Chains A and B, each alone.
Chain A
Amino acid sequence: MALPPPDPQFVLRGTGAAVHTLHFSCAGQEPDVPILFSGSENGFVHVWNLQTHRVDAALDGHGRKSVYCVQTMGGKDRLLSQGRDQRICMWDLAEGRTSVTDSVFTENVGFCRCSLLKVAQGRWLMAMAAKATDEVQVLELPSKTSVCTLKPEVGAKLGMPMCLKLWQLSCGSQPLLLAGYEDGSVVLWNLSTGNALSQLVCHQEPVMSLDFDSEKAKGISGSSEKVLSIWSLNEQQNLQVYKTHKLVNAGISDITIRPDKKILATAGWDHRIRIFGWKKLKPLAVLDYHTATVHCVSFSDHKNPSERLLAAGSKDHRISVWSIYTQT
């Protein structure tokens, strides 16, 4: 007799607007407090203290335009936020400061979340949708120099890039980019040559989100349709469809695989968060708490496995935080 799904461990309220993006920063040592960053449609990035469940700071750096991506750059003191004001801002949050140290003007009016990858100490690669509709540009941070611009070949008709994931097999190896496009394809790009290594049509509708497990060379993508697509990368760097999984309701906004690669979570347009086992995509739980589309899901980076959390941000202005499958 299966147990009923758990309730959220707690719910964060107070953003006052739809929550589009979440990012945890809980790997710090005492006396560092575990933090959750959230970006909302009203242009604020809220810094949530996970002990008090209250907002420690609200960062206003995007002119009240929706913030749709937040990520940390090596710790909670350096934050990167991306907003619909066509800017990517880098923040210095150390010692209580809340200032924008630098920004990149992307000239892109889309919704594609940028992707960060640390390649060396103090050096990052950032992939973002560029000014031209179907191009992806990769910059090196903090120098903001362009590493390459990835243009699909003429006639490819991929449409806008919808989601990006930079990865490398191990530290020091060649960084690669996986990009999901408007036409439903996922393309693997080589950054040094600027060429596409492989392209796979995974969906009939735009790819809304994807995540990739570099150890198993397996990735998963979700779309506005009812199907999750799992694909793998073989030794020749070719993408192949591994399997598909049919969902009960259409529409996935976000997918994320937990850092320990055991489970993954999807954020659904049907207001539900679904948990699957990553190994065989076994459905594990359906968390039904939100009353509107869930826009984003994120796993925490707690060092202690039993403290790990899952957070989901929704259009209903709430962030639900769950403690699920922490024993494994």
Chain B
Amino acid sequence: VCFIPGGLDCSISFVSHVLGKVCVHGRQKEILGVLVPRLMDLTKSDCIWQRICWRLVECVPDRWMEAVVLGFVQRTPGADVLSRLLGNLVVKNKKAQFVVTQKLLLLQYCHTTAVLQNLLGYLALDGLRPSLGSLIQVLQELLETWGSSSAVKHSPPEQQQYISKAILICLSHLKEPEIESCRQELLTSMMEGVKCHLDSSLPQIRRLGMIVAESISSKINTDGPVLKFQYEEDDETRELKSLLVQTPPFCVVPSLPDDDRNEKADAALPLVLESNKKSHTAAPVTPVEESDAELDSDDDLIPYDMSEDKELKTKAPVYIRDCIEVLTGSEDMEKWEATVKALESLVRKNPAATREVSVELAKILLHLEEKTCIEGFVELRQRAQVAVLTTDPIPVAKYLTSQFYSLNYSLRQRMDILDVLVLAARELSYPKSQGKTKHSGAQNPCIQLLPGSDSSKDWRTIVDERIKSKTRRFATGSSQGELTSSPNEFSFVAGHFFFPLIQHFDSSSSVGWCEYQGIYFLYRNSVLQAVTAMGKALLEFVWALRFHTDSYVRQGLLSCISSLLLSVPAQHLLEDMTEELLETQSWLGDVVEKDPDGDCRRLALQNLLLMENLKKKLEPVPS
């Protein structure tokens, strides 16, 4: 209902029709040029005229609505004015809604930035009215289009730029609570979208993607780390970034002729950019009073803000020996922290230097307590320990295994030692592609179940010699020169890991079960090279423990046997370990019958079957 003095209501729809027809025929400029300023004046303070205006536009028939709405959006100098003129049009009129939220944004891209500003500003203000939260919806749709990979690939760069601009303007209008509500969706869309953009081969598209992603990220992560890309700044990027900041509405002088009006709307934006740019490139040339009495030319130079200029954080030492110093003596907590964090990579990068001080480092790391609260301290320490161990396995393994059984170590430390040994074993079993000088051709990571022909023999001879010597002390270094190409570094040092642990195993101690676990894992790794001496030692070990009270231990032992049976070639088993095998076999039989634990019985049965299979394999095939 609208009542106007003079009873003009029925003629409003007539006017709408006329307006619509004229606009559709391309005469937007002329008619709206006259109409819009008049309406703006009239609607400024007069509610009645506002309602008339709204009615005017609402009554425009659907088929002409687009032209009229577009004309309005283009002619009005600001979003607030547009809002005054159009009112709730978007809510009330479906066609208008379509035009405003879909067509102008997603299907057309020829409009200027000013038009976008108007449009989106209008939608933002629209949110003040009880309506559909249309700005958020619009943003989501824009993001969908922006993020769709086919759109990125197939739509012209101008359209993509247009959509990017629209997104940035939307972002600038969004307030904190609104962002809060859709933060997750924004993040997801941004991640997908930025990926499509970065995949593009056009640098402009990539840059657009980067800028939009940065803007979104800065809006949703106001207090956390923000996404930052590197790209060249130029006019385009500055213009885009300036869209993120909303400038206050321009005040319009009604008496300006309408041609200027349009230009002003367009020109206002570049002016804003100009001033932004200017403030970047030069210091203002305003004179500033100095506290000094004399005025000299230095005063013309206005300093910039230098509050960010602080001392650099202390860096981690670059040399291994420095690390040792810091870790043992330093009171400087920052440096200590930095050292702990950097140690692993330093050790790996400087193997020669590490080898000189390996045992010392291992000692320090073993006793390293957490002095400050670093995230992941335990992991950092462990990784450093593994790095030291893999860099210089023999002496460090010797040290660690000897420490393992000595007094005064907590359970945690012993577990640490085991973990470190296991991890290092695993690492050594899979040689990295940068081969060490000793192992030329040691390129392929190998999980060989059959030994390399000469290498294992070499290894065997050496280990056999050692066993014969019965001292079970392994000289460092002497063996390494003789062993040439071996696919598995760990095979060299496995003995150093393995035998000392077995030798000193004390089944009655409270850490028994975890010790054996470590041994088990070590064995699993080392068996890959089918070291028969180790096999023998393992069987003896198993024999010693076979009556252990803990069923878990027994299960573990049985699994050890299975891995042994599976990986050691049958000939070696039957030739070298016959005695032990027979003993084991009889024990297995016992277990199958009498062991209270079901799993143990099952495993024992499996082992027996494996043994049978092996025997059968070796029997001569009947011809």
Q: Which residues of A contact B (CB under 8 A)?
A: 1-11, 53, 248-249, 262-263, 270-272, 277-280, 282-286, 288, 323-328
Contacts and interface: CB of A to CB of B under 8 A. Distances in A.
Contacts of B301: 262-263, 277, 282, 284, 325, 328
A248 B304 contact: no
A1 B234 CA distance: 26
Given A7-B280, A279-B298, A328-B285, A2 B232 contact: no
B282 A326 contact: yes
A7 B311 contact: no
Given A5-B306, A10-B232, A262-B297, A327 B311 contact: no
Interface in B299-347: 300-306, 308-312
Nearest to B281: A323
B282 A327 contact: yes
Contact of B306 (A11, A263, A270, A283): A283
A245 to B, nearest CB: 14
B181 interface: no
20 contacts: A2-B306, A3-B302, A3-B304, A6-B304, A7-B233, A9-B233, A9-B281, A10-B234, A248-B309, A263-B301, A277-B301, A280-B298, A283-B303, A283-B306, A284-B304, A286-B306, A286-B308, A288-B308, A323-B281, A328-B301
Interface string B351-393: 0000000000000000000000000000000000000000000
A248 to B, nearest CB: 6
Contacts of A6: 280-281, 304
A16 to B, nearest CB: 16
B289 interface: no
A249 B312 contact: yes
A326 B281 contact: yes
Contacts, number: 83
Contacts of A288: 308-309
B298 A5 contact: no
B411 interface: no
Q: Say whether chain B's binding surface is mostly helix, strand, loop, or mixed.
A: loop
Given A10-B233, A283-B303, A3 B298 contact: no
A144 to B, nearest CB: 41
B231 to A, nearest CB: 9
A292 to B, nearest CB: 12
A261 B72 CA distance: 57
Contacts of A53: 232
Interface in B265-310: 279-283, 285, 296-298, 300-306, 308-310
A221 to B, nearest CB: 20
B303 A272 contact: no
A295 B138 CA distance: 49
A178 to B, nearest CB: 24
B283 to A, nearest CB: 6
A249 B308 CA distance: 13
A285 B312 CA distance: 17
Interface string B470-500: 0000000000000000000000000000000
B303 A284 contact: yes
Contacts of A10: 232-234
A2 B301 CA distance: 12
B296 A279 contact: yes
Nearest to B309: A286
Given A282-B298, A328-B285, 7 more contacts: A2-B303, A5-B305, A8-B233, A10-B232, A279-B297, A286-B304, A288-B308
Nearest to A288: B308
A2 B309 contact: no
Contact of B305 (A3, A249, A272, A277): A3
B298 A277 contact: yes
Nearest to A272: B309
The 10 lowest CB-CB distance pairs between A and B, nearest first, are A2-B305, A285-B304, A277-B298, A286-B309, A279-B298, A5-B304, A284-B303, A327-B282, A286-B306, A270-B312
